[in-house]
Structure 1
Amino acid sequence: MLLSEKNAIVYGAAGPIGSAVARSFAAAGATVHLAGRTRSRLEKVADEIRAAGGTAETAEVDALDESSVDQHAEQVAASAGSIDVSFNLIGHQQQFGTPLVEQDLATFELPVHTAVRTFYLTTRAAARQMIKQRSGVVLTFGGYGPPAANLGGFQTGFGAVEALRRNFSVELGQYGIRVLTLQTGGIPEAIPDSFDEQTRAAITAAAVRETLLQRAATLDDVGTVAVFAASDQAKALTGTGINLTVGAVPD
C-alpha cells in the first residue's frame, strides 16, 4: 500500500474534506492521527476507519493554538516514532456576499489571519519533527484561482497561505521535506449544511460552470490525489500545487 508504515496527522479530521482524506490515508495503509476540537466527532470518523480495517488515533487539538499544536505533534512523534504527513483541513469562517469596500476590517481580516496562523503553526510543528528524520510531506488545501467578487478576505487568505507554502518549500527542501497544495474549484459535497438550498445550488453551479468536464472535484477525488501526493510516488513534487479544478484553472 502506498502509505504503509506512515504516520499522518489530519487537522480538521471531523469535517467533510478532512474525514474523506483521513479515510483515504488509512485505506492506503497509514496510521491516521485525527486532530480536531470535538472528540465525539473525531471518534465517529475513527470508528469508521477501524471498521474498514484501518488504524486511527484521535486527539482534541485547537489548530489555532500554538501550545496545543506543538504538544500534539511532539506526542505523536514520541509515541508513533515519526510524523510523515501533515495535512491541515480545518474549516474557515466564511463571510460571502459583501463587496470589499463595504466590509469592516475585522470581518475582512478574520479568514486571512485564521488561514495563515493555522497553516504556519501546524506546518512548523510537523516540520520540527520531520527535520530530525529528514523526510516528510506537508499538504495544504485551497490554492488561489482567478479573483472573484464578494468573497471578502477568503480568497486573500488562500493567497497568503500559498505565499507561505512557497517559503516553507524553499526552507524545508534541504531536509527532504515536500510541501504541496491541493487546489480545487470548490467541492459541492462539502458545502455546509447551514447554507440554504438556494445558496447551495448557486455555489454548486459556480463550481461546475468553468470546468472542462462539467463536473466539480469530489471528496473521493481529493482523497485519492492526497494519497498520491503524500506517497513516495510523488517524490519529485514539491513547492507547487496539484490542480484539481477540472480545468477551471488552466495551470
Structure 2
Amino acid sequence: MTVNETMLAGRKAIVTGAGKGIGEAIARQFAAAGAEIVLAARTGGDLERVAADIRAEGGTAHCVSADMGDVGQVTALVEQAAALMGGVDIVVSNAAATGNAPILDLSVDEWNAVQQVNVTGTLALLKAAFPHLSAHPAGTALIISSIRGLSGTPGTGAYGASKAALNHLTRTLAAEWGAAGIRVNAILPGPVFTPLMEESARINPKIREAYENCSPVAGWCLPEDIARPALFLVSDAARKISGNLMIIDGGLTAINQDCLLLAD
C-alpha cells in the first residue's frame, strides 16, 4: 500500500505504546500520511528512536512518557499532547499489559493490574481526550483490542477479559459520542509478529511454527498489517464507520480454532 502523504494532513494524533510493535507501525504510518504525532509509552528510549526516524522523513513527532496504569499520568499525557500540537483529533489506545497465567494461578492484584492498564487506562485516555476530539469535525478514537476478547483461551483470562471489555467500550462510546461527531472503532488483531512475540518464539520455537500456520491465510501478521487498516479507520475514507470491531487475523476466528495447544 502506498501511503497518500496528505491523507492525514493537518491531523494531530496520540499513539500509546508507540515505541515498538503495533504502536510503532501505526505511528510511522500516520506520520507518513501527514499527521503530527505524540508518541507515548512508559519509557522514552524506543520513543526517541521512532521519533528520530519520523523527523528524518520530514514528519513531526513528539515524545511523552506516560504509564497507562496511572490515571493521573494518562490525563497529563492528553493535556501535554494538546499543548504540544495545538489540539488532538486522533487518539489510538494501543499500550497493553498481558498477565498470562491460568485463572487459578492469578492473584486478584495481578488481575486488577491488567484491567487497570488495558481498560481503566484506555477509558481515562479517551475521556480526557473527549473535549479535544469533539472540538474537531473529524475527531476519532481507535482502540487496539484483540481476538482474545471474543472467546476463552487458556492462560490468557485477565488479558482476554480486558479485551472483551474494550470491545464493549468501543461500541458503547460509538453510541454515546456519535452525537458529538466522534467516531470510535477497534481493531482486533490475531497473532502478530511483534518484538514480544519474536522473543516468545525464540524461547519456544514451536510457537513460531504454530502461529505462522494456524490461519487460512498462512504466514505471520506483521505490525504493518494492523497499521494500514488503522490509517483507513481514522481517515475521512471511513467517515461513516463507527462502532466497528475490525478483526485482522488471517481468517483464524472464521474457522473457530486457536493455536495455543502447544507442547511445553
| TM-score using structure 1 length | 0.89
Cα distance, 1:87 vs structure 2: 0.6
Counterpart of 1:239 in structure 2 is 243
Matching residue's letter, 1:244: I
- SS at structure 1 position matched to 2:99: coil
Q: What is the number of residues matched between the two proteins? A: 248
* 2:132 corresponds to 1:129: yes
1:152 and 1:202 mapped to 2: Cα distance?
22
Q: Report deviation, 1:166.
A: 1.7
d(CA) in 1 for partners of 2:90, 2:193: 26
Q: How does 1:140-219 map to 2 (within 5 A)?
A: 140-143=143-146, 144-192=149-197, 195=200, 197-199=202-204, 201-219=205-223
Partner Cα separation in structure 2 for residue 202 and residue 160 of structure 1? 30
Where 2:68 maps in the other structure, the secondary structure is coil
Mapped to 1, the partners of 2:110 and 2:207 lie a distance apart of 21
Identity rate, percent: 27
How many Å separate the matches in 2 of 1:215 and 1:69? Answer: 36
Residue 48 and residue 156 in structure 1: after superposition, are their counterparts in 2 closer, same or farther (change >3 A)? same
Q: CA deviation at 1:18?
A: 1.1
The answer to whether the Cα contact below 8 Å between 2:37 and 2:62 also exists between their aligned partners in 1 is yes
Matching of residue 113 in structure 1 with residue 113 in structure 2: no
The Cα RMSD (Å) is 2.1
**Partner SS state of residue 242, structure 2:** coil
- Contact 2:22/2:224, CA 8 A, preserved across alignment: no
- Structure 2 letter corresponding to 1:83: V
Listed one character per residue, the Cα deviations across residues 20-63 of structure 1 (whole Å, up to 9, x for unaligned) are 11111101111111112222321111001111221111122222
- The change in CA–CA distance for 1:101 and 1:28 in structure 2 (over 3 A counts) is same
Q: CA deviation at 1:131?
A: 1.7
Partner SS for 2:14:
strand
1:57 aligned residue:
62
Query: Distance between the aligned counterparts of 1:188 and 1:159, measured in 2?
Result: 22
Distance 2:201 2:86 in 1: 45
Q: Tell me if structure 2 keeps the 8 A contact 1:8–1:32.
A: yes
Specify every segment of 5 or more residues in structure 1 that has no aligned partner in the other structure, as ranges.
none
**What are the ranges of 5 or more consecutive residues in structure 2 without an aligned counterpart?**
1-5, 256-264
- Contact 1:137/1:179 (CA < 8 Å) preserved in 2? yes
TM-score normalised to the size of structure 2?
A: 0.85
Instruction: Look up the match of 2:25.
Output: 20
Change (3 A) 1:90 1:230: same
Q: Which letter does structure 1 place at the counterpart of 2:142?
A: L
SS of residue paired to 1:159: helix
Query: How far 1:91 sits from its partner (Å)?
Result: 3.5
Aligned position for 1:72: 77
